[in-house]
Structure 1
């Protein structure tokens, strides 16, 4: 007896699912573009360029000769050959990196438990001198940038303050958010969400297993949100306290062992709240007590696809 064959996936249905997911991802980006006055034509041009580059990377990795790239990219993306030729020669002016020496110094300061007060908060540091001082902290991160320049950048971003005599440095905030620097904030957006999205796509395509999980809940009140937000902030501090020393130790061990150090990692935590979408009456039966049946609290694990051998 022959086993029943497994139905082949329906490409049209899969395409619709992918398109639906892309539309959902584009919605907040469209909101940003509209808020900043960026016309749709500019975004469409960026999308075409992204398609060409994605196809170019995939075809190059597959071993396609460079002489056939333009034709195959055109076939794969549906973009005409003349436009593909133009786009493959185009270079973008990159956004400034979200990560910087200033952010590294800030992160080291926040993560170093010896620089905290016993009752909470962070110790003010002498501007110069032996450790613990801002100068020593900065030089522990890099010898290539003068501590004065790092201090000026942190001050410009509103992350530190100086005492009246200019000899003591104090953290002004506990999170590195470069307020007042729109370009760097956009760089953080691109880097953080870009890596998160790349990890999710890796999981879907079976390219490489990446950690991607979340917890969601609905039927919360506005009054309960501060409690949730405090919890998220506490978890972030705990993650930062443990992750930074671990990563620094791994880097030093790799260096000492002479290993090839060509990998990077990004570990993040986010929390988001918004108003629930209205639920159709027929989908939300109400109990006599007045409580609905559609309350949800659940953990969501990233989809996993087996790699093809």
Structure 2
């Protein structure tokens, strides 16, 4: 990192800004300092462990202790707990509900003339909710997927017309704290991870990738202007979904086809097969807004008009 004398102050300021919303979340959820301290130690040890993964275990513990300032015995405990937890924790399961939600908001057959998700017949040939659900998976019954969307407050069923419509612009499950916390961790964690990568990349840390990260800022908006801005953002996100979701699906299908039919067979040695194993990547793209009241400085009082005077001496 930079040796600029201003860097420690700038880093401390940035860390306080990052920790403030986490502290607010912790207080709202009843998380104590002891729990936060344990989580912070786990995160520090995990990061240091990954940074020195090439070292043998006995040397790695010493290096982690030096890098983090955590006692060696604590480092050994935390490394063991992290590795046991990683071995027992299954990979995150794909959410059929979120995939169906994305398809519904992006695929032309399921959109209305205004580009918004259309109300769909619950059953029948495409475009219907049943056909949409079956396009996502044949392992889960369409009714089960519908029940999940209804439970999460993302869709509404019109029993009289036997149609289903979306009632949310984004996949933010209502009334499901566990799922909302999962969304928070994955989305904000990925954004922060990318921002840190960019900072380390610019500081010259080898092997650190760079990610696209841009933002705009504006102030002085009235309530009416803020409402208009929110409508503009929603429309832009809908356009982004309709452009990128089909494009990503085409790219995934193309890569899968190429993997199933490689250009040439690997050599007879295991290292030849490993060298030809294709690298795969995950992407996460999001759009967020954050608004808050802006306390503008009070306008200066108008200047007092000049006062007339009857003092003849002053006029002479």
> TM class by shorter-chain length?
0.7 to 0.9
Kindly state the Cα deviation for residue 22 of structure 1 after the two structures are TM-superposed.
1.2
User: Would the aligned equivalents of 1:96 and 1:187 in 2 still touch at CA under 8 Å?
Assistant: no
User: In the alignment, what sits opposite 2:59?
Assistant: 68
* 3-state SS of 2:215 partner: strand
Deviates more, 1:89-98 or 1:102-111: 89-98
SS of 2:165's equivalent? strand
Gaps of 5+ in 1: 1-7, 290-309
Give the Cα–Cα distance (whole angstroms) in 2 for the partners of residues 106 and 256 of structure 1. Answer: 25
Question: Which residue matches 2:19?
Answer: 26
Do residues 154 (structure 1) and 149 (structure 2) align? yes
Larger Rg: 2
Match of 1:268 in 2: 286
Answer yes or no: is the 8 Å Cα contact 1:127–1:133 preserved in 2.
yes
* SS, match of residue 162 in structure 1: strand
Deviation at 1:109, TM superposition (A): 0.7
Structure 2 residue aligned with 1:86? 77
Aligned counterpart, 2:239: 238
Deviation at 1:241, TM superposition (A): 1.0
Q: Secondary structure at the match of 2:283?
A: coil
Q: Which residue of 1 aligns with 2:129?
A: 134
User: What does the per-residue CA deviation read over 1:107-156, in whole Å, with 9 as the maximum and x for residues that have no partner?
Assistant: 10111122222256433323333322222211212233222221111111
Matched position secondary structure for 1:267: coil
CA distance in 1, matches of 2:109, 2:253: 20
* Partner secondary structure for residue 150 of structure 2: helix
Q: Secondary structure at the match of 1:213?
A: coil
Asked if residue 249 in structure 1 is aligned to residue 243 in structure 2, the reply is: no
Whole-Å Cα distance in 1 between the matches of residues 160 and 8 of structure 2?
Answer: 64
Which of 191, 194, 207 is 2:189 aligned to? 194
Cα deviation 1:188-214 (Å, max 9, x = unaligned): 111111111111111111111100000
Shift of 1:257: 1.5
Shift of 1:162: 2.3
Describe the SS at the equivalent of 2:216: strand
CA contact (8 A) 1:200 1:212 kept: yes
Partner of 1:40: 33
Answer yes or no: is the 8 Å Cα contact 2:111–2:117 preserved in 1.
Answer: yes
Q: Assess if the C-alpha contact under 8 Å between 2:105 and 2:116 holds in 1.
A: no
Structure 2: segments with no counterpart, 5+ residues: 202-207, 263-277, 304-316
Q: Distance in 2 between matches of 1:119 and 1:270?
A: 23
1:167 positional shift = 4.2
Relative to structure 1, is the Cα distance of residues 127 and 39 closer, same or farther in structure 2, using a 3 angstrom cutoff? Answer: same
Which residue in the other structure is 2:215 paired with?
Answer: 214
8 Å CA contact retained: 2:26, 2:32: yes
> Which gives a bigger RCO, structure 1 or 2 (Cα 8 Å, sep 6+)?
1
Tell me if structure 2 keeps the 8 A contact 1:161–1:171: yes
> 1:98–1:191: 8 Å Cα contact kept in structure 2?
no
Per the alignment, residue 105 of structure 1 pairs with 100
* Total equivalences in the alignment: 276
